[in-house]
Amino acid sequence: MFPHLLPGLSDLHIVFNLFNYLTFRSAGAGVTALVIALWAGPATIRRLRALRVGQVVRTDGPRTHLQKSGTPTMGGVLIVLSATVSTLLWAQLLNWYVALCLLSLVWMGAIGFMDDWLKVVRNRSRGLIARYKMVGQLSFGLGLGLFLVLVPIHPVPGTWTMVPFFDNWVAAFWPPAYVLFVSLVVSGSSNAVNLTDGLDGLAAGLSAVAFVTFGVFAYLIGRVDTSAYLGLFYLPGTGELAVFAAALAGGCIGFLWYNAHPAQVFMGDTGSLALGGALAVMAILLKAEFLLLIVGAVFVAEAFSVMLQVGWFKYTRRVRGEGQRLLRMAPLHHHFEKKGWRETTVVVRFWILGILAALLAFSTLKIR
């Protein structure tokens, strides 16, 4: 809204010219989302407690988690609302990239909201049946893939994507395969962040790091000079995604104020699915899907640990007659808790790994 209205007032005062600058608007979006989340946090927590929207804790998890039972969940609405309002205020609203990312945030957040609501109403830790959740994720991914194939919003072929570390290599997909690829990225990312959301502050902190990283890439890819110098695709208009990324990073940090150990509120699937979906769509629109594997390395490791655990258990049960585990518990953060690490130790060390993954992603800009 601001970039559409305020620059026209530059005749009144030169300060209004600032709203033409992407860096200024990105900073404004991040601060606005942070302030909204901090301001609305206490009221949201009180409301969730009044509605008795409490977390259902697994009885087979670490014993220290049993005391978290009943802690308000669905706090992800704080992140979704603060980021959405901030983006609407600071971004150019007629930008395809912003519109698609906002749609993904709301769509995935709605799926997560239904999942959380069923957990609370039915008092079941499983929530929404997995296949129904997957249908919602895959349908959005398929729709997005079809849209990108049929509507040329990019100056490069819609089915191309960049390959990290190489400036003269591209991955060119057959259109039907690209649609399936996009759907896989969306569902995989949203579920990976969802699996990571198991400790106080873990998913929120890692998501903030990931969004800041992709915000920088959005800014570079959206400029003709920096994209050419760094060997990236030049995608005009994608710079506006830096505003969206900053808003989500600010929302995550504001939420982290209340989600830090001991957490006063959990984001639930409302937040984790929304964050994972938005992160995936940003990567897809920036033609940086493979970069997502690097930036979200901790998310990938968490999801991979679950797949390994389930796969090995089923294999050994079929071959040996009794299922065995590779890890003490999955996802990976619970494995380290079972080994005796404190929850805060696991969270901070995983944050460090997330920051190192972000630095590795930035290194791809020069190693090309």
Which sequence spans correspond to the domains of the chain? Answer: 2-363
- Rounded Cα distance, 29 and 84, in Å: 10
- Rounded Cα distance, 333 and 197, in Å: 10
- pLDDT at res. 58: 60
- pLDDT at res. 315: 84
Rg of the chain, C-alpha, whole Å: 21
- pLDDT at res. 117: 81
Q: Which residue has the higher pLDDT, 46 or 7?
A: 46
Most confident segment among 20-24, 60-64, 118-122, 303-307: 303-307
- pLDDT at res. 220: 96
- The reported pTM is 0.93
- Rounded Cα distance, 158 and 175, in Å: 9
Q: Find out whether 284 and 186 touch, Cβ atoms under 8 Å.
A: yes
- pLDDT at res. 186: 96
Tokens 């901030």 found at: 86
**Minimum mean pLDDT range among 17-21, 28-32, 44-48:** 17-21
Task: Quick: pLDDT tens for 224-258.
Answer: 999 989 989 999 999 999 999 999 999 999 999 99
Q: Find out whether 298 and 206 touch, Cβ atoms under 8 Å.
A: yes
Q: What is the mean pLDDT of residues 31-59?
A: 85
Token pair for residue 176?
């039907």
For residue 93, count CB atoms less than 10 angstroms from its CB and return exposed for 0-12, middle for 13-18, buried for 19 or more: middle
DSSP state of 51: T
3-state secondary structure of 197: coil
Helices assigned H by DSSP within the chain: 2-5, 22-50, 76-90, 96-122, 130-150, 175-196, 202-221, 224-230, 241-259, 268-285, 289-295, 297-320, 332-338, 343-363
Token pair for residue 291?
């970069």
- Rounded Cα distance, 188 and 183, in Å: 8
Residue 367 region by backbone torsions, left for phi larger than 0, else alpha for psi between -120 and 50, else beta: beta
Tokens 């300060």 found at: 15
Q: Is the pLDDT of residue 18 over 90?
A: no
**Minimum mean pLDDT range among 14-18, 20-24, 60-64, 352-356:** 60-64
**pLDDT band per the 50, 70, 90 thresholds, residue 73:** confident
- pLDDT at res. 4: 54
- pLDDT at res. 87: 96
Q: What is the mean pLDDT of residues 273-298?
A: 96
Residue 287 region by backbone torsions, left for phi larger than 0, else alpha for psi between -120 and 50, else beta: left
Q: Is the pLDDT of residue 180 over 80?
A: yes
Which residues, listed in sequence order, are joined to residue 170 by a DSSP beta bridge? 162
**pLDDT band per the 50, 70, 90 thresholds, residue 320:** confident
Tokens 């997957």 found at: 134
Residue type, 246: A
Token pair for residue 328?
């003490």
Q: Find out whether 214 and 361 touch, Cβ atoms under 8 Å.
A: no
